Every structure is written in C-alpha cells, then in structure tokens.
Chains A and B, each alone.
Chain A
Amino acid sequence: MREQLALLPEYLSAHVRLTLLALAAGVLLAVPAGVLVSRVRALEAPVLGLAGVIQTIPALALLAVMVPLLSALGLPGIGVLPAFLGLVLYSLLPILRNTVTGLHAVAPAVIEAARGVGMTSRQRLFQVELPLALPVVVAGIRTATVWTVGMATLSTPVGATSLGNYIFSGLQTRNSAAVLTGCAAAAGLALTLDGLVRTAATGIERRQRRPVAAAALGLLALGAWAWAAAPRGEGHAGRTVRVGGKTFTEQYILAEILARSVRATGREATVVAGLGSTVAFDALVRDEIDVYVDYTGTLWSTVMGRRDPAGPRARVLEEVRLWLLERHAVVLAAALGFENAYCFAVRREMAYSLSLRSLIDLARHAGTLRLASDYEFFSREEWRAVESTYGLAFRERRTMDPSLLYQAIAARQVEVITAYSSDGRIASLDLVTLEDEKNAIPPYDAVVLVGPRIAREDPALVTALRRLKGTIDETRMRALNRLVDEEGRSAGAAAEEFLGSSPAAFMRR
C-alpha cells in the first residue's frame, strides 16, 4: 500500500493537469458554440447531433481512435495529446446541450424587456441571457467534470499518465490495492472538482464573494500543485530513453527490467506502461517510445499482416528482424529466450477425463465446451488459422479481460481458455496446455525492439541491450510473473529480483 501511495503525487498530478486542461478547453469551446447554436437555429440540429454522435462512441474507443488519427496528421499519437483531445470532445456535449437549453429557457418576456430597454444583442447576452442560463450551464459543466475525471483514467493505454495507471496495472497484475487506490483517488478528485464548481456557481447566483473566491482559490491551488508536481526535464527529454510496455503483467515487469538495464548504462529512462498492443509498435516507429518488448508472432500476424503459416521459430525470428529493419529502421536487439505464445489450456482433471493432449483431441469435444479469450484473440489471424486447421467449433465463445481468464476457468465458468505460455498461473492453477501439432499458431519469441532514433544516434545502447539475449527462459519468466500475480509483489520488485543487486554488473557480464 505504501508503495502505491508513493506513486500518488505523480499519477494524481498528471490526472489533474489533464482534467483541468480538457475541462477548460471544453468550456471555452462549448459555451460559445452553445450561444452560437441558440442564435442560429439552423446550426442546432447538426451541431448537437455531432456532439451526440461523439458521445455514443465508447470512451476507450474514442481515445484509441485518436492515436492513428493524430499519427496520420503527423502529430504525436501517444501521450497527453490524444488523451486531451478525446476528453475535450467528450466534455463538449453536456456543456453544449445545457448551454442551449439554458438559453432557450430564458422567458421571451424577459428577452423582450431587454430589447425594450435598448440593450444591444451583446448586452442582452451578457447581462440577461447568460446570467439567467447560468444554473443550467453550470449543471452541464458539473456533468462534464465528473465524466472527464472518470474518463481520464482511460488515457493510460494511449500513453498519458493518469490515475488509470493504478487501475490498468492493478487489474493486470492482480493488485487490488492499486485498483482501489486509483478508483478512490479518481472518485475523490471528481467530488472535489464538482464541489468547487458547485460552490463557485452558487456563490455567483447568490452574489456572495466569499464562496466564489474560495472555489477559485481551490482550483488555483489544485492547478498550481499539479503543475508544480509535473516531472521536469524537458531539457534532457532528448536523452531520456522512453521504455514502453503493454497491458499485462509480463510487460510491466519487462518494461521495468529494460528501464533498469538502460539506467545501468548511465542513461536516464522513463517507463510508459500500459500501452495498447498496436499502439506500442506505432509509438516505437514514430520514436515516441524508444524501447519495448514485443513478440514475433504478434509482429508476424498483426504488424506484418502475414496470412501464411509462420514456420519454425528461428526462421520467423529472422524474417521479422529483417522486415523491421528494412521497413521501419527498427532494430530487433535481442530475443530474450522465452516464448509467450497463445495456447489453449484446460483443467488437469478434465484433460484426464476427456483424454485431451492436443488441439486435435480438443476439436472432438469442442461442441460441448465453452472457450474464453482476451480482447484480441478472436480477431487475430491465428484464431482463424487454428479454427480452420483443427475445425474447432465451441459451444460458446467469451471475451474478457486477460486477468480474469484464469479466475473464469478456476471457477468453472468456462472449460477452455487461451492462456499465455509464460504465465505463472498455468502452473499454479494446475492447468494443462494442449499441443499445437499442426503449428497453426506462430512462435511468440519475446524480442527487444529499439526505435529508429536510438538505433541511429545511440548504437552503444543497442549493443548494451543485445546482452539481454537469452537471459530469460520460460521458467524464469513464469517465476517472475508469479511473483507479481500470485505473491503481490510490484513489477519493479520483480525486475530487481531478476537483475540482482547490481543491474550495472548484470549489464557488464
């Protein structure tokens, strides 16, 4: 818990910065737009309709779609920008709609009175219409505030630090303390900001200076703290190596190992963890992160888009290495020595009772069995390959968060799951993995990838990273994963366990 709380200033301040910026932009855009729409009736339907459509996009998808969109525009596709834009878009609707509603609700008699006493259109707006619409507008801002705080937790997968870092890493590494810390902090922040906005608004309505000043001071103090707590080092951002990681336990550990290995060479390193699977690769190509670990099978099917059977491990590794280098100037520095392949796992007693050893056996019983997999698998090429190669047709297919797969099979809610071959829980839950005799699933060697900028400017670092080759075998990786998943250690602690007391010595070996 103490370990979690130590991260709070960093996560919370980043969350506050993101939320305040997005809300400020949302208000500055939506209120004038609402005024415009309420005056030019022809705009009302299209503008509110568009904002409504944006709102129907699931929050996570809206943020995720920002990544390729920004990249296509030549802007930084990961980090604060996509999160900021997504949040702004999301905050527009409640503010816009309430501004329009509030302005429409001003009694026609009052508007006529304003005209009758000789107010100009602008005077009428600022002296009569907006003040009267204020309570409704503020209600919209409060809705947007709570939404934005909540949704900002989803900016972790696009590479922006937020309280979501607690939640995503906590869910993946089964650290409920982290999840709870993240949720509690987000809820607390939402209540605080909502309270400040409400206080300011009531103060304005009742014309009391004190609450308005108090709320303004509160917001100012919160903002000042958040920006003061922002990590410095813009100056040597060029020298800091950004280590990426995806959203599962092993990736959190490997990112920590890579970061410590980089630091052992005397360079600075920061970890950008919890990136979406293809977000990570795109970010590497664009030099938004510098180093991360990916898997040959993933690169083969998802990135290279190969549809043909992959073939043996060494050949795939070589093909992937050449393709990355030629196509993207990305250097495959080292194969770590283990595979993290998709594999089909069943409980041991069921494997016995149904005599299941391979996927061929599984195909005979699939019609009576339920299969659960992660978000990606069913849309990946290897599922199509497995399905057609073995003629697999399950009674039911379910998609769930990877961290929940093991709970689902342990609780007998499903009979078969797609496990990751390096996962410590295969052993601890006494699961049996079924053999892929026809090689339908490509090999998944874990490989350290280095982005084009480092490859070009810092060959010494590439050389240093090559020393990681073959340092982690399957047993080792499972043990490290178990440390985090089963024993509740942090990813950093697992990395230290692996590198020993002196990462520098490890890197010099």
Chain B
Amino acid sequence: MIEVAGLSRRYGGAVAVADVSFRVGAGEMLALVGDSGSGKTTTLKMINRLLEPDAGKVVIDGRDAASLDPHALRRSIGYVFQGIGLFPHRTVAENVAVPLRLAGWSRDRTCVRVAELLALVELDPALAARFPAELSGGQQQRTGVARALAASPRVMLLDEPFGALDPLTRDRLQRTFGELRRRLGLTAVFVTHDVAEAVVLADRIGVMRSGRLLQLGTPAELARSPADDDVARLLDTPRRQARLVAERLEARS
C-alpha cells in the first residue's frame, strides 16, 4: 500500500509538483495521466526517492520512505523505466539478474529465478544470452519488466512502460502485464499520457495538470462526473478516436 501526502517539488523556481496526495490500496493499480510537464513522472520518482520531495511524505506499507535507506527502498520496489533503461553491456539474463545480485542471491538460485522470470514475461529463453541492442523494442521492454519483477517486489512503479512500442506489441504487452499484476497481486503506480491505456489497465486514474492532481477516481467516475471540461475531453478522447476509426473503416468497405 502506498500513501502519498502533500508531496511537492520545485526545479529552480518552477513548480513541478504541488501538494499531491493519494492512496493506492494493496493490489490496486493507479494510473497518473497528464500532458508532458504535468508532474506525473516527478511524482513517480519521489515515491522511490529517485527524487527527494521538498515537502510532503510517502508511506509504503506503513513505513515512512524518508526513514528508509534509499538504496534498500529502491531495491524493494520494481521500477520499469521510460524508454529502455537496460544496461547495454549486460545480457538479457544479466540485466534481469541485477536486482538478485544486489540482494546477494547465489549463482544457482539466480539462474533458476531468471529462467522463471523470462517465462513469466513470455520471453524466449534463447534470448537470455543476447545483449539489449540485439532485441526488438518489445523484447527489451519484456526484459525490463522481468528485471523489475526479479526480487518479487510488492510495489511496482512504471514510467510510460509501453510508450515506445508499436501498437500490436504494445497491445500484447499491456495484456501480459495486466494479467501478471493481478496474478501477483502487485500494488502499482504507472505514468502514461495515453488515456486509453490508463482506462484499460488501471483501477483508478489520477489526472495531473501543472503539478497538481486535478481529479482522482475510477475511469467510470471520471467519465461520469469530470472535474472540468479538460478532464471531460481527456476521457472522451479514446472514445472519439475509436468512433472515428470505426467510421473510416466502414466507409472504406
């Protein structure tokens, strides 16, 4: 369970995040959506202290994150990075094994666990000895997810995990991840600018703008009673696009 209260952060004079508070229940997935610069990634990075907040606090499973060793904190939280975030000089298997190595696992146990993780994210075991540069974008992102899951964290943070993928791969990976999360009972916060993705994957959605959390609720709640016109338009976008797509496709046939 993650509890964020009054989180604020400035860069120089500019406010990046202002007084953001929310709770993510155990096993729940929260999506933070908003334009670039709305503060969603900054919020995410303050949860595992990749960035330190100027004010406010983060409580994870009842413990104040500020009171924990930052390295230990990060090791206990799975993190899927925007873009690639894999170590280019390490093979797939070694990348996945990084959190295990940091946790001091033995070589044999690590081997078994890596094989298990590759199966979990549906990666061909033959790819284990490849380097990231030799993989497709989808395979790279599966590797990233496997690495985030390696040390069996109960909390996951995902920063636009599927942003750079082609639509088919993205669709497949979203489904894989959705199933995994439910099966493993993970508590997760993920950042995206793709409202459709948020609607499909998340239990609840937080809409951010100019560093503030504008509205928080289930997709249905947001659609039913949007806080303002912007939120209404935002939630309507996927539907509008879907309609447009359907029309064009039918017009052609």
Contacts and interface: CB of A to CB of B under 8 A. Distances in A.
A110 B71 contact: no
B75 A117 contact: yes
A103 B79 CA distance: 24
B57 interface: no
Contacts of A110: 85, 87-88
A118 B74 contact: yes
Contacts of B88: 110, 132
Interface string A93-128: 000000000000000011011111111100100001
A131 interface: yes
A176 to B, nearest CB: 50
Given A131-B89, A132-B89, A118 B102 contact: yes
A123 to B, nearest CB: 7
A136 to B, nearest CB: 13
Contacts of A131: 89
Interface in B79-136: 79, 81-89, 98-99, 102
The main secondary structure of chain A at its interface with chain B is helix
A128 B98 CA distance: 11
Contacts of B81: 109, 112-113, 116
Interface string A128-167: 1001100000000000000000000000000000000000
Interface residues of A, number: 15
Contact of A109 (B50, B72, B74, B84): B84
B147 interface: yes
Contact of B87 (A113, A115, A118, A120): A113
B75 A109 contact: no
Q: Looking at A109, A115, A118, which has the most chain B CB atoms within 10 Å of its CB? A: A118
Contacts of A123: 102
Given A109-B81, A123-B102, A116 B87 contact: no
Contacts of A114: 87
Contact of A118 (B71, B84, B85, B86): B71
B48 interface: yes
Name the residue among B71, B73, B76, B147 with the largest chain A CB count within 10 angstroms. B71
B89 A117 contact: no
Given A110-B85, A110-B87, A132-B89, A116 B79 contact: yes
Contact of B75 (A112, A118, A132): A118
Nearest to B76: A118
Contacts of A120: 71
B89 A109 contact: no
Nearest to A116: B79
A185 B83 CA distance: 52
22 contacts: A109-B81, A109-B84, A110-B87, A110-B88, A112-B81, A112-B85, A113-B81, A113-B86, A115-B50, A115-B74, A116-B74, A116-B85, A117-B74, A117-B102, A117-B147, A118-B71, A118-B72, A118-B73, A118-B74, A118-B75, A120-B71, A132-B88
Given A116-B50, A132-B88, 5 more contacts: A110-B88, A114-B87, A118-B74, A118-B102, A120-B71
